Amino acid sequence: MKEGFRQAMAWLHTWAGLIFGWLLFSIFLTGTLAYFKDEISHWMQPEIPARSVTSEASLNVAQNYLQQHAAGASRWLIDLPDAREPGLSVRWQQTPAKRGERGQFTEKLLDPQTGAEVQGRATTGGEFFYRFHFQLQMPYPWGRWLSTIAAMVMFVALISGIITHKKIFKDFFTFRPRKGQRSWLDGHNAVGVLVLPFHLMITYSSLVIFMSMVMPASILAAYNGDARAFYDEVFPASTTPERADQPAPLASLAPLLEKAREQWSGGRVGRLTVNNPGDANASVVLVRDGADRVVHDFGSAVTFNGVTGQLLGTTPEQSLPRAIAGSFYGLHMGHFAGPVLRWLYFICGLAGTAMIGTGLVIWLGKRQLKHAKSAVMPFELRLVEVLNIASMSGLMVAVAVFFWANRVLPVEMAGRADWEVNGFFIAWGLSLLHAMVRRGRAAWVEQLALAALLFGAVPLLNALTTPFHLGNALAQGDWAMAGFDLTCLGSGVFFAWAAWKMQRSGRAEIVTQVRARPITLEREAN
Amino acid sequence: MKVLPVSYRLAVTSRVLAAVLGGYIVAALASVSLTLWVPMARADAVVTGMMTSFLAYLGAVIWCFACRSAWQAWLGLIVSSLVLAATSGLAYWMGLS
């Protein structure tokens, strides 16, 4: 580290990228899948029908259901269906036995047309990828901390990578295929620079999303240690009124939707909270759906008197700093994105995943060259190789197994949703074992081929186990269902190609290595 | 592969600790200092301070690996922490929060 600034940054980029690369790869891949979380859930619960009913009609259905089944609850929560999430979700919280305790929640999914409870197969669906992306299957709050730490490392790796890469625009138009190590580096730079704004946005916004958890010093300093006062100020609508203990009928909720839309110049209602239903002190809080604009407003809500339907208050206009934080959140989540933009998000996410993956391959490739002649690889290189294989191709296999488990496990099986998730982790663990016992290249080829087989056969599996096969979905215009099958098929083809390339380049490897060496060494900054 | 001397490894470990722990302290103090000084409503100032703290963290990490020695890395972080703590303390004493 005695050399110049750029060399120091290259060192930082290399090692920060290596240590967190495997974790970041899985975070980026699952996060990318989470952009289609509702579509994945739709494929994994095909029984839930897609209905197009107005918000008013589904709210009436929800109110009727809750009045019959949850009249004595302290709180109702109603999530209205939208185009991507067809289910009408109702939750209610029991009045806690003792003051200050948290009452128990019950959740039901309703058919917004008939009001009947929907009986879908038990699954975590796309929610699994979304949750894994920032909780890493760890107990609260450890997963969130680890993923935020990984995000900070990603931020450091990005900026140090930009500093290292001096000829950023010139090199951007350079791609030298079939040059071994050199092509990987060109590819790494190309995917890195091409979607650089996305990388910077997604990384910085992930820090902003969890900033009050990881960086609470300024809350404590400004509020004299009373963090609760800060949250009450930022989310004013979350305070619950006291019960009057006098029964009073709840007003009809549906007309409130129009009143809220007037307040938000047409903005849609996403969630309704009814506090103390059936009590004289009932209140209804309508929270805006995030999908109609980029800037997310956490606190944006309109509150009504639950008995008279009178407007009680609105949250003030978002201030500039909070709008900036909200737009970071909105940009990261991409709730506002329509189909085209959503695909663009997906592709950018894949580019980010590919950037991390190529970086890991380059780290190993460079060092393997030095040991090309000796038969045994040093332990640390072998370790990196095994982790590379398991974290990349192994993860792909695990994702495919997760989808397969959804169709293969019996619908009435106990603990079904958990076993889908277990299947994911068992497959991932087995891929690690497999990478340990097989030689590097053979392990790559076999795991990629398995991923190709599993993904490529998903449309067939879907056709054999459900009536929602590709032909049917296309005929009905169910693009989420058909798109899922087609994307899996496409992924299968891609993995087959990757496995084939890997096997072929294995044979030609010795020749290219000798040819590529002078170029690689000339550039070797780290 | 050449074996790296222990002193080099210790210096790298020292820099990593400076970057991770020292960098966090600098970032936290920077966010407090900014929150107390920026002329905004209290909640907005807090949000601004938290949002920008990661830039301070990034700067501190880059500093730790860019400077000539591990001692220099620590010295830079300690000096900036003291300065930030003093500005925060001054703001607190003046009742700016």
The ipTM estimated for the assembled molecules is 0.94
- Mean model confidence pLDDT for chain A: 87
B12 occurs within a structural domain: no
For the record, the structure tokens of A327 come out as 């737009």
**A218 and B34: CB-CB below 8 Å?**
yes
pTM of the model: 0.89
- Give the residue with greater pLDDT, A237 vs A285: A285
B69 interaction partners in chain A (CB closer than 8 Å): none
When CB atoms are compared, the residue of B11, B12, B88 closest to A221 is B88
**Whether the predicted pLDDT of A1 surpasses 60:** no
Q: Do B27 and A12 touch (CB under 8 A)?
A: no
Q: How high is the pLDDT of residue A158?
A: 95
pLDDT at A46 over 70: yes
Tell me which of A1-15, A230-244, A333-347, A364-378 is least confident. Answer: A230-244
B2 within domain boundaries: no
Partner B, chain A 172-211, Cβ-Cβ below 8 Å:
204, 207-208, 211
What 3-state DSSP class applies to A483?
A: helix
Q: Cβ of A156 and B29 within 8 Å? A: no
| B48 falls within a domain | yes
Residue A314 dihedral angles phi and psi, to the nearest 5°: -125, 155
Most A CBs within 10 A among B47, B64, B84, B87, hence the mutation to make, goes to B47
CA distances from A153 to A149, A403, B26, B58, B66 (A): 6, 31, 16, 9, 16
Asked if residue B1 belongs to a domain, the reply is no
Helix, strand, coil percentages for chain B (3-state, nearest 5): 85, 0, 15
Candidate from A2, A8, A319 with C-beta closest to B65? A8
Res B1: pLDDT? 45
**Does residue B89 lie within any of the structural domains?**
yes
pLDDT digits (tens, 9 = 90+) for A377-399: 889 999 999 999 999 999 999 99
For B57, nearest residue in chain A (alpha carbons) = A152
Q: Determine contact: A430 vs chain B, CB below 8 A.
A: no
What range does the domain containing B66 cover?
18-93
Sheet holding A105-110, edge to edge: A105-110, A88-93, A75-79, A269-275, A283-288, A301-305, A311-314
pLDDT at A169: 60
Residues belonging to chain B with any Cβ–Cβ distance to chain A shorter than 8 Å: 1, 11-12, 15, 27-29, 31-32, 34-36, 40-51, 53-54, 57-58, 61-62, 65-66, 68, 88, 92, 97
Average pLDDT value for residue range A321-332: 92
What confidence category does residue A522 fall into, taking pLDDT thresholds of 50, 70 and 90? very low
Assess if residue B11 is contained within a domain. Answer: no
Q: What DSSP character marks residue A291? A: G
Within 8 A of B46 by CB-CB distance, chain A residues are: 218-219, 222-223, 230
Q: What is the pLDDT of residue A294?
A: 80
Residue B74 banded pLDDT, cuts 50, 70, 90: very high
Tally C-beta pairs within 8 A across A and B.
100
Residue A248 contacts residue A256 (beta carbons within 8 Å): no
Decide if A233 and B53 are in contact by the 8 Å CB cutoff. no
CA angle in degrees (0–180, nearest 5) for A104-A136-A327: 85
Residue A112, φ and ψ in degrees, nearest 5? -65, -15
Q: What is the reported pLDDT for A517?
A: 43
Between A217 and A172, the higher pLDDT residue = A217
Output the CA torsion A456→A460→A461→A465 (10° steps): 170
User: Which chain A residues contact residue B47 at CB under 8 A?
Assistant: 234, 321-322, 325
pLDDT at A235: 77
**Is the pLDDT at A102 greater than 90, yes or no?**
no
pLDDT (average), residues A418-434: 96
Among B15, B27, B48, the residue with its CB nearest the CB of A321 is B48
Task: Indicate if the pLDDT at residue A513 is higher than 60.
Answer: no
Strand A311-314 versus strand A301-305 pairing type? antiparallel
At residue A324 the predicted structure's pLDDT band, cuts being 50, 70 and 90, is very high
* Shortest Cα distance, chain B CAs vs residue A290, angstroms: 20
In a domain, B49, yes or no: yes
Q: How many domains does chain B have?
A: 1
Query: HEC states along A366-411?
Result: HHHHHCCCCCCCCHHHHHHHHHHHHHHHHHHHHHHHHHHHHHHCCC
From A1, A217, A324, residue closest to B51, measured CB to CB: A324
Residue A331: its pLDDT value, please? 94
Flag if B51 and A325 touch (Cβ within 8 Å). yes
- Which of the pair, A376 or A121, is modelled with greater confidence? A121
Question: In this complex, do B35 and A218 lie within 8 Å of one another by their Cβ atoms?
Answer: yes
**Res. B25 pLDDT band, cuts 50 70 90:** very high
Nearest to B54 among A12, A152, A378 (CB): A152
| Cβ contacts of A506 within 8 Å, gap of 6 or more | A441, A445
